Amino acid sequence: MLKGSKLTRNFLNLSDINKSQLMGILKRAIDLKKYRKKNKNPATLRNINLAMIFEKPSTRTRVSFELAIKELGGRSIILDEATTHLSRGETISDTARVLSKYCNILMIRTTNHKKLIEYHRYSKLPVINGLSNISHPCQILADIMAYNEKRGSIRDRKFVWMGDLNNVLFSWVEAANIFNFSLNICFPKLMKVSKGLKEKIKTYSNNVKIFHNTKLACKDSDCIITDTWFSMGKKPTNKLIKVFKPYQVNEKIMSIAKKNAVFMHCLPATRGNEVTEEVIDNSRYSLVWSEAENRLHIQKAILEWCLKKI
Ligand code: CP
Ligand code: NVA
């Protein structure tokens, strides 16, 4: 039914989807979390085949999508790019057309965002961005869900992003504009801001501000977020570690934020680099395990949304 439909729903970037639809996904994820607790998962995706293509490693995205589709009655097939003919030069266009004969929906983790669009173009199947070089939208919905559960609405809150300027940050910038909260981005002065991110920040300047001074950025904030300084594919160097060190989220940084501020990290973390043990393991304010858990509930809701079940 979905094949060839002009109205196919893709989940590529948060800014492609209107706020009420995103709110619907969040609301559905909360319900699905309750159903799972009661052992009453609905079979809304019975006989749906999800193919997942991974060009990069994954623990959370892989496990949560696989369980999500299975718990809702569907099936999943995982394709590690290196073990398919993609690694021997078969084109994305041919691969996509073949997958469309077997599957109903695709989830792709890619080194090049443009490939997501190419998969959709040739398969006509809904495509979910399971992390690209540009963005990581599934993660941010799970994170917002975790914040809502712990502290209520995100609207008008002050969030701080510390450290590297990466794909996860890009989706946070989009979220700040959509969900009306402010986001202070605090990073070393000598880091170059990519053209795409620069444009986003400029467009959303009502919500997003740039800082290099950690005290000024974190003062009175409701949440401090960080991520690895070395995203997949980026080589760690001692020189860069030194540059990033003042932006490490430690207890001193957390003490500048509001008393009830929380800490977030999408994981995987490098303890001792971007975050200290004391912060990530602080059960009073670290939301990292809820963020990871909510990936499962959010993926279910995203799959249902893409397949027009909600
Ligand atoms: N946060 C996240 O996407 O984790 P994985 O790389 O393990 O999927
Ligand atoms: N920024 C990280 C996120 C991992 C989930 C990366 O791209 O490696």
Alpha carbon of 56 to ligand 2 centroid (Å): 10
Percent pLDDT > 70 in the chain is 98
Written as six digits, the tokens of 100 are: 């469309």
Amino acid at 115: K
pLDDT over 90 at 191, yes or no = yes
| Non-local CB neighbours of 277 within 8 Å, separated by 6+ positions | 271
Ligand nearest to the CA of 54: 1
Q: Which are the contacts of 208, defined by CB distance < 8 A and separation ≥ 6?
A: 173, 176, 177, 182, 183, 184, 185, 200, 201
Q: Please, what CATH class does the domain formed by 14-136+294-306 belong to? A: alpha beta
- Percentage of the chain exceeding pLDDT 90: 96
Nearest atom in ligand 2 to 58's CA: 5
Residue 166: alpha-carbon gap to chain centroid: 11
Sketch the domain layout of the chain as residue ranges: 14-136+294-306, 139-291
Distances 271 to 23, 67, 82, 181, 309 between C-alpha atoms, Å: 33, 28, 29, 28, 40
CA of 32 to the centre of ligand 1 (A): 21
Q: Whose CA is nearest to atom 7 of ligand 1?
A: 59
Q: Is 131 in the pocket of ligand 1 (CB under 6 A)?
A: yes
Ligand lying nearest the CA atom of residue 231: 2
Do 14-136+294-306 and 139-291 agree at the fold level?
yes
CATH topology of domain 139-291: Rossmann fold (3.40.50)
For residue 112 the two structure tokens come to 């090049």
Please report which confidence band the pLDDT of residue 5 belongs to, taking 50, 70 and 90 as the band edges: low
Q: Is the predicted pLDDT of residue 4 greater than 70, yes or no? A: no
Mean pLDDT throughout 55-78? 98
pLDDT of residue 7: 81
Assign 135 a pLDDT band (cuts: 50, 70, 90): very high
* Ligand 2 pocket mutation pick from 143, 167, 229 by most atoms within 8 angstroms of CB: 167
Query: Which ligand lies nearest to the CA atom of residue 64 in the structure?
Result: 1
Q: What is the mean pLDDT of residues 1-15?
A: 76
pLDDT of residue 6: 62
Instruction: Give the CB-side neighbour count of residue 10, counting CA atoms within 13 A.
Output: 19
Q: Whose CA is nearest to atom 6 of ligand 1?
A: 58
Residue with tokens 């605090």: 186
Mean pLDDT score, 93-122: 97
Tell whether the model's pLDDT for residue 158 goes beyond 70: yes
Instruction: Read off the pLDDT of each residue in 220-247 and give the average, rounded to a whole number.
Output: 97
Ligand 2 test: best mutation among 54, 61, 131, 295, most atoms within 8 Å of CB? 131
Does any ligand 1 atom lie closer than 6 A to the CB of residue 59? yes
Q: How many angstroms separate the alpha carbon of residue 228 from the centre of ligand 2?
A: 7
The pLDDT value recorded for residue 3 is 46
Q: Which helix (H) or strand (E) holds 178?
A: helix 167-179
SS3 category, 162: strand
- Tens-digit pLDDT profile for residues 19-50: 999 999 999 999 999 999 999 999 999 999 99
Residue closest by Cα to atom 1 of ligand 2: 231
pTM of the model: 0.96
Confidence of residue 1 (pLDDT cuts 50, 70, 90): very low
Q: Residue 81's pLDDT is what?
A: 87
Task: Let me know if 109 is exposed, middle or buried by CB neighbors in 10 A (0-12, 13-18, 19+).
Answer: buried
pLDDT tens digits, one per residue of 247-301: 999 999 999 999 999 999 999 999 999 999 999 999 999 999 999 999 999 999 9
Whether the predicted pLDDT of 138 surpasses 90: yes
Q: Please check whether residue 183 is in contact with residue 176, taking contact to mean a CB–CB distance below 8 angstroms.
A: yes
Ligand 1 binding pocket includes 58 (Cβ within 6 Å): yes
Inform me whether the pLDDT recorded for 114 exceeds 50.
yes
- 3 state DSSP class of 268: coil
Distance of CA 167 from the midpoint of ligand 2 (Å): 7
Q: What three-state secondary structure class fits 307?
A: coil
64 CB near ligand 1 (under 6 Å): no
CA of 231 to the centre of ligand 2 (A): 5
